Amino acid sequence: QKYGYYHCKACNIRWESAYVWCVQGTNKVYFRQFCRACQKSYNPYRVEDITCQSCKQTRCTCPVKMRHVDPKRPHRQDLCGRCKGKRLSCDSTFSFKYII
């Protein structure tokens, strides 16, 4: 799971997502995300590890984990290429066997 930056060229809308699924050890994206306005699917133009803003580590032991992700923000299952149309959202499971 990584963090991605998206840009819809049709609507000129930009968004970010903490639900970018890549081939392990690479930035090769498995699933596209859909633009909320025109429903065209896109790969992110930039992908990075989800890191702690305090220590800049992916997995850290900081007492307060400051990440550039809002854990309270709901996952838009209707715009996610991985879990769109599926019973379970990919924010509730991390295993492909439950999604595919």
Could you tell me if 89 and 77 are in contact, meaning their C-beta atoms sit under 8 angstroms apart?
yes
pTM over 0.85: no
Distance (Å, whole) CA 99 – CA 29: 16
Domain positions in the chain are: 1-79
Which residue type is seen at 39?
Answer: Q
Bridge partners of residue 26, in order along the sequence = none
- Higher per-residue confidence, 63 vs 95: 63
Backbone φ, ψ for residue 79 (5° rounding): -110, 0
Tens digits of residue pLDDT in 66-83: 555 666 677 788 888 888
